[in-house]
Amino acid sequence: MDATLAVILIRTIQLALLGLAVTLSITSHLWPSETPVRDGATFDFIVVGVGTAGSVLVNRLTESGRYSVLGIEAGVDPPLESVLPALFLFLPSSRYDWNYTSENDGYTAQTHKNKNLELTSGKMLGGSTSLNHEIYCRGFPHDFDLWVEAVKDQRWSYNNCLPYFKKSEKLEDEAILKSNYKDLHGLHGTVGTTREPHDITNKYLEAFQEIGYETVLDTTESLGYSEILFTIANGIRQSTAISYLFPIRRGRKNLSLLKETLVTKIIFDKNKNARGVSVVTKEGKSLTFRARKEVIVSAGAFNSPKLLMLSGIGPKEELQKFDISVISDLPVGSNLQDHAAIPIVYRMEKRFTLIPIPPSPFKFPLPGIIGYNALNKSQGYPDYQSFGFIFQDPTTLILICTFVFAYNDDICNTLHEAGEGREILFNIPNIAHPKSRGSVKLRSTDPNDPPIINMGFFSDKEDLENMVLYLEDLMRIENTTLFKKVGAELVDLHLESCSQYEYRSKDYWRCYIPKTLVSLFLYTSTCSMGSVLDAELNVLGINRLRVIDASSMPTITSGDPGASVIMLAEKAADILKKKYYGL
Ligand SMILES: Cc1cc2nc3c(=O)[nH]c(=O)nc-3n(C[C@H](O)[C@H](O)[C@H](O)COP(=O)(O)OP(=O)(O)OC[C@H]3O[C@@H](n4cnc5c(N)ncnc54)[C@H](O)[C@@H]3O)c2cc1C
Ligand SMILES: *[C@@H]1O[C@H](CO)[C@@H](O)[C@H](O)[C@H]1NC(C)=O
Ligand SMILES: *[C@@H]1O[C@H](CO)[C@@H](O)[C@H](O)[C@H]1NC(C)=O
Ligand SMILES: *[C@@H]1O[C@H](CO)[C@@H](O)[C@H](O)[C@H]1NC(C)=O
Ligand SMILES: *[C@@H]1O[C@H](CO)[C@@H](O)[C@H](O)[C@H]1NC(C)=O
């Protein structure tokens, strides 16, 4: 198969799945249905976006039944390919994705189809946890020290967040449950977590051990390499739609829910109190709803800043460009962070089983390992994180190359060729604490227009120099017994635009890194605590308005932030309950 055929194949399967979803509604019994609400209706709380954080909030805020909550989601119910853990390949560029892309900055992502990045982001109940890669990471205590520093509030220290990590987790992995690592985890929470160990990973764990990275059972809070802990349990993706909405699928007293409804503006009174929202429904009707207590924005790291700016909260100069009257002048949309990952791909041993075993739909589709590495051996937190995925079948490799990372056909065909007859180790190291920042800005005042997104990857040159060091550190693996024995080779991606540099020299990597980077889709910090929000997630200079989602994080955690977004929403729900329910 080549890259063009891969595109046709995925499109065909996506259409078939769409047909199934529309004609059979196979999954609709899993989710709460819509509730009729009339124009002008009043609720205690309005939650904008029933995604990752929003699902946690509508559940927790309706637990007592004492307060009324309206959840408004722009997307639809998650389809079968969201519920089955192996099928995330079919969700990007579908009706379940906002289809946002980064701007072509002429520097990064030049080996991608459109010289930009496809910034997949969930548009359905459960939001991005309904299409993400299901990797459970918490970050390290040090990450939360950085939050405390930014917010100047001890409430965000790791120890003070830990009860909420535990509240939201239900560890179901037998080996970890039998180990000392058990105590780090939640055992009775909402989001099920398990590993899927594969024998084939052992040799790679040993190789990393040989270059000084310890093999551990569980990398929650530990440096070193391990098998991956997933938000998968009983063969089902543990999106927040499954973990927080499925249990209340028959409805709850005082919970109202709207789907396929876009919030277009937050409404304020003249004293800067948020009073409600304007929406456009799936039938195209414009309605308004009122909030007696608070409006909570949980629309994700691209759409939360967009909605704030459309509503008059943002950088004054930006808003004035569009004649939006400024209600609070704040650095909304700046401080965008993500982990850019660099592919370091090896051709490993010959494969003897030429017919690949098809992956189970109930599992993560690939064997893989996860590592947290520090160059300074006495430092307790990582400088870089790295995944190593093992491909035993070039077809899966080309599908992921084309559909998850959207590389151009030359790169995908090179990788495919490298995988013919050989096992592939696909490493994606990424900086744990990037210094570069990107931005989200308005394109226009039309709420249907995508925002202008600049990821800003490697705009801080210190990141580039550090990444070169991390790649060199990782590539020491070439000198291990395993790599020597099987005659492992680094796959040369034949970057013509870097051919003036000596292959594998520092200058070569300085050229290679920006061109080949991928986003890991971990966008955070566009309305961050410490600059746009206070420590209780209130928007500064405004009353009765909070932002509670990945945008609220002061800095991205090392590794994937999904678990931290859920923790943050759980903690925020308690802040709200304490204020209004007197708990
Ligand atoms: C492809 C991909 C892979 C990832 N892999 C991992 C991983 O393996 N592990 C991990 O920990 N993290 C992963 N992440 C990141 C993680 O999933 C996100 O950080 C997290 O889910 C973000 O949660 P959120 O609440 O901020 O936003 P979201 O979950 O995106 O929720 C926002 C919701 O608001 C809705 N919305 C937006 N605007 C409006 C509006 N105007 N009106 C009404 N509704 C609106 C959206 O439709 C969406 O449902 C991945 C993300 C992606 C996209
Ligand atoms: C729903 O919430 C309102 C407050 O908004 C409260 O007065 C009412 O009693 C609640 N209804 C139920 C059934 O608990
Ligand atoms: C994203 O793009 C695909 C086709 O490329 C389209 O089918 C889908 O409807 C788009 N999603 C949204 C939310 O518009
Ligand atoms: C290594 O880390 C330790 C502990 O954090 C620190 O004291 C030391 O200064 C670091 N060394 C270097 C060379 O950065
Ligand atoms: C492998 O070891 C040799 C000898 O120590 C060294 O020169 C070389 O740089 C190492 N290779 C890598 C990729 O680190």
C-alpha of residue 440 to centroid of ligand 4, in Å: 35
At 353 the pLDDT is: 66
**Is ligand 2 within 6 A of the CB of residue 44?**
yes
C-alpha distances (whole Å) from 329 to each of 72, 84, 222, 312, 551 are: 26, 44, 41, 8, 17
At 199 the pLDDT is: 95
Is the separation of the CB atoms in 196 and 365 below 8 Å?
no
Torsion-angle region of residue 438: left (phi > 0), alpha (psi -120 to 50) or beta?
A: beta
* Tokens describing residue 329: 């002048």
Ligand in nearest proximity to the CA of 210: 5
At 212 the pLDDT is: 96
- Which residues of 451-511 form beta strands (DSSP E)? 452-454, 489-490
C-alpha of residue 76 to centroid of ligand 3, in Å: 13
Dist. CA 289–CA 152, nearest whole Å: 35
Residue of 519, 516, 416, 419 whose CA lies nearest to 6: 416
Residue 210: which residues within 8 A CB-CB, separation 6 or more? 480, 481, 482
Dist. CA 471–CA 458, nearest whole Å: 15
* Tokens describing residue 124: 């359905």
Regions of the chain short of the pLDDT cut 50: none
Is the separation of the CB atoms in 404 and 387 below 8 Å?
no
Residue of 414, 429, 426 whose CA lies nearest to 348: 426
Phi, psi of 157 (to 5 degrees): -70, 160
**Is ligand 4 within 6 A of the CB of residue 23?**
no
C-alpha of residue 479 to centroid of ligand 4, in Å: 26
Q: Is the dihedral of CA 316, 274, 45, 75 positive or negative?
A: negative
Dist. CA 77–CA 389, nearest whole Å: 30
At 396 the pLDDT is: 86
Report pLDDT digits (tens) over 56-94. 999 999 999 999 999 999 999 999 999 999 999 899 999
* Tokens describing residue 477: 């693996």
* Tokens describing residue 565: 């977004």
Identity of residue 210: E
Residue 257 pairs in a beta bridge with: 71
Phi, psi of 454 (to 5 degrees): -110, 115
At 393 the pLDDT is: 85
Q: Strand 69-72 relative to strand 255-258: parallel, antiparallel, unpaired?
A: parallel
C-alpha of residue 44 to centroid of ligand 2, in Å: 9
| Among protein residues, the one whose CA lies closest to atom 4 of ligand 2 | 67
At 292 the pLDDT is: 97
SS3 for 117? coil
**Is ligand 5 within 6 A of the CB of residue 344?**
no
SS3 for 194? strand
Report pLDDT digits (tens) over 310-360. 999 999 999 999 999 999 999 999 999 999 999 999 999 998 765 666 778
Q: Strand 42-48 relative to strand 286-297: parallel, antiparallel, unpaired?
A: parallel
Report pLDDT digits (tens) over 372-430. 999 998 999 999 999 999 998 888 889 889 888 889 999 999 999 999 999 999 999 99
Site to probe by mutation for ligand 2, drawn from 44, 69, 252, 253 as the one with most ligand atoms within 8 Å of Cβ, is 253
**Ligand 2: nearest atom to the Cα of 43:** 5
Residue of 483, 472, 557, 473 whose CA lies nearest to 520: 557
Q: Which helix (H) or strand (E) holds 225?
A: strand 224-227
**Ligand 2: nearest atom to the Cα of 44:** 5
At 285 the pLDDT is: 97
Which alpha helices (DSSP H) does 216-367 contain, by range? 240, 300-310, 316-321
**Is ligand 5 within 6 A of the CB of residue 478?**
yes
Residue of 434, 482, 441, 488 whose CA lies nearest to 461: 434
At 1 the pLDDT is: 67
**Is ligand 2 within 6 A of the CB of residue 580?**
no
